[in-house]
Structure 1
Amino acid sequence: MRDGRTEGDATHDAIREPTGDAIHDVIVVGSGAGAMTGALMAAADGLDTVVLERTALLGGTSAYSGAACWLPGTQVQERAGLGDSTDAARTYLRALVGDTGPDRREAFLRHAPELVARLESDPAVEFEWRAFPDYVAAPGRMDAGRSFVPRDLPQEELGDLLPLVRPAVDRDRAGQGHPDGPLTAGRALIGRLLLAATRTGNTTVRTGHRVIGLVTEHGRVTGVEAETPQGTVTVRARRGVLLAAGGFEGDDALRTEHGVPGAAAWTMAPPGATTGDLLRAAVRIGAATDLLDEAWWCPGTERPDGSAAFTLGLRGGIVVDAAGRRFANESLPYDRMGRALATAQAPAHLIFDSREGGGLPAITVPPADPEEHLASGVWVKADTLPELAERIGVPAGALTDTVARFDGHAATGTDPDHHRGEDPYDRFFADTRNAPGPNPCLVPLDRPPYYAARLVLADLGTKGGLRTDVHARVLDGAGDPIPGLYAAGNTSASFTGRVYPGPGVPIGTGMVFASLAVRDMTSPGALPASGITSGATGGARSTVTAPPARD
């Protein structure tokens, strides 16, 4: 994969904005983890590859993420001595998903170890295991977790590619660039994949390209139409087009049409990045869809500007509905808590006391400024529980009774109502320093003043989309592949159905099926019999689009 280059070689000849119509071997639409994996695999195979990104920055929601990669049975878990295996993951997935989509499940399990070995053969790509439990108690589960993350990436290794990588969510929403220090988590994953892809010499990156249509010739997809600041251009592909630019979580009209609860304002995707253009374009040429009412759910703490912060890992507090009652185990994995939130009587609030000095006893992405949230009214504060209940519009007696009952559970260490603290995932985030009782997940609310933070149903992206097969080929209504068209990540319908098995499943599955798409593009049977000439350009050096530098 190193293409004969050393780590010190320049990654590209120039940073410039390619414009106008063009032809490449492979078109990759999107720039998240799945898209960049597909681009790297194609470029490493010697194919002239172009990445088309709608926005000015690469990475999408992947860049905001913790970059957990749920890829079972690989050399990363082996190095960590976990005892994970493909068979254990198969048992786990069967227990959760059943026999729905067994062919895609098996394709994922077979290819994951091979993909990781190939990625790590490039010096730019390094992973390490980090504890994070699988989400569901089922056979084959890894209580310590089987997902892994990229190693931190020093900024100097990226050089002038750095401004292309989307910053962390809090800085990105504030219009700021990267802080000093290495790139971590999702930024490190995108940076490493970008670095490896550009070092092949076969990668072109075009930002500011909004793909709005697919070009077909004799029933085969041969390119895309994209809106750019310079006008509409046609980009053509000799081998295939991979759609991997997220779902439609950022489009309220599509959410309403397909019954996806929540709102575009509450999704964790970058603003304006995921409006369903690819879904619409593929459906226009006959593509089939599935799971369009689904998303990767999470609780969201409402922010002063009306957006939401991904909220997980509660260390204390309780969540109540509009009746002032608990309705779920607040320590559930975020997708399952999101599903509980979707059926609860709205609005819901996280109730907490002053045990952490007025700070939220949870992780929020982006972080929450208590004073700012209190000033805006999305958080409220009161000296007593009846006063707090009045301020958030719930029955005072119900809230007082709920807290008293929960405090009793904290004293005994058991939660007969919702079983909080009984699962390894619950205890993963517990802070024993703030838990005086026997169960660190049950922390009493006994230190006034009290607070209430408004919760909304947020998401990490929709998980329904184009139907695909084991090669990531997009299928039509009859179940036949549409020649030349592939999809991965949230542009496709997840084979995990309505279940979120563990941390990094969206990223891991996106990476695997993007790689499988490229493998199919390079197989003899996938090449067009006539028309567009196949073959790589050979000696082309990589070019990238650089956005204006940000502070």
Structure 2
Amino acid sequence: MTVQDGTFDAEYDVVVVGSGVAALFGAAAAASRGLSTCLVEKTDRFGGTSAYSGGAVWLPGNPVLARDGLEDSVERGRTYFRAVVGDRTDQRVQDAFLSTGPAVVEFLQGELGIPMRFQAFPDYFDAPGRQEAGRSIYPKPIKGVEVGARVGDVRSAVPVDQFAADEDTTRLEGGRAWVARLVLAMDAMDNAELRLSSAARELIRDADGRVTGVVVDENGERRALGARRGVLVAAGGFERSAELRERLQQMPTADWSSSHPDTGSGDAVRMFEDVCARLDLLDQSWWCPATLFPNGHAAFTLGFRSGLIVDGTGRRFANELLPYDQMGRKMRARMADGAGDDFWFVFDDAEAGGFPAICIPAPGADDLRAAGLWHTAGSVEELARATGLDPAALRASVDRFNEFAERGEDADYHRGEDPYGRFFVGASTAQECLRPVGGERLHAVRLVLGDLGTKGGAVIDVNGAVLDTEGQPIAGLYAAGNSSASVSGEAYPGPGVPLGSGMTMAFRAVADMVGEPLPVTL
């Protein structure tokens, strides 16, 4: 869209689209520099998919790690990141992300006053530079009374948003703590404006092609918001767009994503297409196994303490204790090979019939049984018939798994040999991660390929500027978070890479808007 006369309903220095952690942090960074800043969020709550996250932020060599006693450096993080990601993305953009991380944390502490802490969570790959304790930091939880009237504006946790659980705002943790603290920081700035129920529809360009603003639909009224310095799009991905998921990722549904149904609808991708931006990684997501619930939604599941996972043919195909994105990729590969999209988690009564994995909300056996998503049987063959699996194949999978458990060594997939897998089981040896499946009752719970959001979008340069199809920056347009093509490419290096990279590139984008681009140094 071109505004010939340059008139707007309202005009700011910076307009930010979205309200996840990357968007909120970018807006806070802009307002703290004295720029008039407007953030628009299409739903009635702030937080996007970020509010669902555990809140990890992966930034090597940052001052919180040093303060809390973890020995790390940007260079060590670069060694690891490069070993995992390689040259799938621009290595100068990788370096820009890594070198700026410590400054982001200093800004969070010094300018915004947000308290943070280190919490152990292993890096995901066995590669040079890996930290087995991880290198992720988290916001300290915040009480609902401290958030005050804004607490109702922060997106609820997954059990409330998607599974009708009662809401508890006594204490906000993880991603919700980031969102609450960043919203409060912006509320304290006179030059910052936050707008809910304001959906960005299209970018505005002047006659020279510079992006000068955004058209939003605000409670049914179209308004043109001008942006003198730039527009930062950090509006999430397209995980909830059934059309885009099918066309770009060949996924059978968009309902299995962990994001909220009203977010991640692909608005950013469509706006970028309209201005001929270069797009990449559209076939990629932050994958994960997920437990399917009767309402059609699926909940992120990890930390399988016992049992085994089989595909639609009844065969075990991977180490169940792989980092979740890697396990998700194994599931995706089985789907591509024709095994179908049915997966089953098979376990016994070792935990009194409980679900031996981490899933929030915890699946209720009775509700899932009524929906055909949880089956209980007295034998492997009976369980196979209930789930529609090949009895001989399932029997062979269980028997082979049990042989490995008795020996204390998974010869097929090496379960428990990596520190990540042992971390979630609380084990010190691989043998502790392997226990035979048996007894009087066996269970099978339906799993599907879920995700924590898509990771494809606009290709950006070292300053977070969106590139056009010729590889040149589009003046006035920036992207961060899941609206941009992830700097980590097809890999998920460690907990907090999505939030950490999104915050960092938003920070660099704001610096570029004010004509003070940050250096790319290590």
Fold match by TM threshold 0.5 = yes
Q: TM-score, normalised by structure 1?
A: 0.89
* Aligned position for 2:143: 154
Q: Contact 1:412/1:438 (CA < 8 Å) preserved in 2?
A: no
The reply on whether 1:467 has 2:455 as its aligned counterpart is no
1:448 Cα deviation (Å)?
3.0
CA change 1:180–1:487 in 2 (3 A) is closer
Deviations 1:476-509 (A, max 9, x none): 0111111100000000001211111001111110
Q: Contact 1:122/1:196 (CA < 8 Å) preserved in 2?
A: no
1:331 Cα deviation (Å)?
0.4
Q: Contact 1:247/1:491 (CA < 8 Å) preserved in 2?
A: yes
Match of 2:487 among 484, 495, 499: 495
Q: How far apart are the structure 1 equivalents of 2:463 and 2:470? A: 17
The reply on whether 1:66 has 2:54 as its aligned counterpart is yes
Deviations 1:80-120 (A, max 9, x none): 21111101101001111123411011101111001101111
Output the aligned Cα RMSD: 1.8
* Aligned position for 2:298: 308
* Aligned position for 1:451: 443
Q: How far apart are the structure 1 equivalents of 2:184 and 2:475? A: 30
CA change 1:110–1:292 in 2 (3 A) is same
* Aligned position for 2:473: 481
The reply on whether 1:360 has 2:348 as its aligned counterpart is no
Q: Contact 2:408/2:434 (CA < 8 Å) preserved in 1?
A: yes
1:124 Cα deviation (Å)?
4.1
The reply on whether 1:40 has 2:28 as its aligned counterpart is yes
Match of 2:287 among 281, 297, 303: 297
1:175 Cα deviation (Å)?
5.6
CA change 1:49–1:168 in 2 (3 A) is same
Read off the aligned partner of 1:401 and give its amino acid letter.
A
* Aligned position for 1:96: 84
Read off the aligned partner of 1:354 and give its amino acid letter.
D
* Aligned position for 1:247: 237
* 2:172 match: secondary structure: coil
Read off the aligned partner of 1:26 and give its amino acid letter.
V
Q: Contact 1:124/1:195 (CA < 8 Å) preserved in 2?
A: no
Stretch moving more, 46-55 or 402-411: 402-411
The reply on whether 1:256 has 2:246 as its aligned counterpart is yes
1:321 Cα deviation (Å)?
1.3
Read off the aligned partner of 2:196 and give its amino acid letter.
T
Read off the aligned partner of 1:212 and give its amino acid letter.
R
1:148 Cα deviation (Å)?
1.3
Deviations 1:442-475 (A, max 9, x none): 1211233111111111111111101110000001
Q: How far apart are the structure 1 equivalents of 2:230 and 2:220? A: 25
Q: TM-score, normalised by structure 2?
A: 0.94
* Aligned position for 1:165: 154
* Aligned position for 1:415: 410
Q: How far apart are the structure 1 equivalents of 2:159 and 2:73? A: 36
* Aligned position for 1:22: 10
Q: How far apart are the structure 2 equivalents of 1:410 and 1:176? A: 37
CA change 1:122–1:525 in 2 (3 A) is closer
Read off the aligned partner of 2:77 and give its amino acid letter.
A
Q: How far apart are the structure 2 equivalents of 1:378 and 1:287? A: 42
Q: Contact 1:163/1:177 (CA < 8 Å) preserved in 2?
A: no
* Aligned position for 1:530: none
Q: Contact 1:310/1:366 (CA < 8 Å) preserved in 2?
A: no
CA change 1:178–1:40 in 2 (3 A) is farther
Q: Contact 2:246/2:253 (CA < 8 Å) preserved in 1?
A: no
* Aligned position for 2:5: none
**Matched residues, number:** 504
* Aligned position for 2:3: none
1:348 Cα deviation (Å)?
1.3
1:262 Cα deviation (Å)?
5.1
CA change 1:396–1:334 in 2 (3 A) is same
CA change 1:448–1:60 in 2 (3 A) is farther
Read off the aligned partner of 1:235 and give its amino acid letter.
L
Q: How far apart are the structure 1 equivalents of 2:169 and 2:158? A: 16
Read off the aligned partner of 1:223 and give its amino acid letter.
G
* 1:429 match: secondary structure: helix
Q: Contact 2:508/2:517 (CA < 8 Å) preserved in 1?
A: no
Read off the aligned partner of 1:398 and give its amino acid letter.
A
1:438 Cα deviation (Å)?
6.7
Q: How far apart are the structure 1 equivalents of 2:226 and 2:355? A: 50
Q: How far apart are the structure 1 equivalents of 2:264 and 2:15? A: 18
* Aligned position for 1:82: 70
1:335 Cα deviation (Å)?
0.4
Read off the aligned partner of 1:67 and give its amino acid letter.
G
The reply on whether 1:137 has 2:129 as its aligned counterpart is no
* Aligned position for 2:419: 424
Gaps of 5+ in 1: 1-19, 527-551
* 1:407 match: secondary structure: helix
* Aligned position for 1:529: none
Read off the aligned partner of 2:16 and give its amino acid letter.
V
* 1:145 match: secondary structure: coil
Deviations 1:517-551 (A, max 9, x none): 1111111799xxxxxxxxxxxxxxxxxxxxxxxxx
* Aligned position for 2:101: 112
Q: Contact 1:213/1:278 (CA < 8 Å) preserved in 2?
A: no
Q: Contact 2:57/2:136 (CA < 8 Å) preserved in 1?
A: yes
Identity %: 46
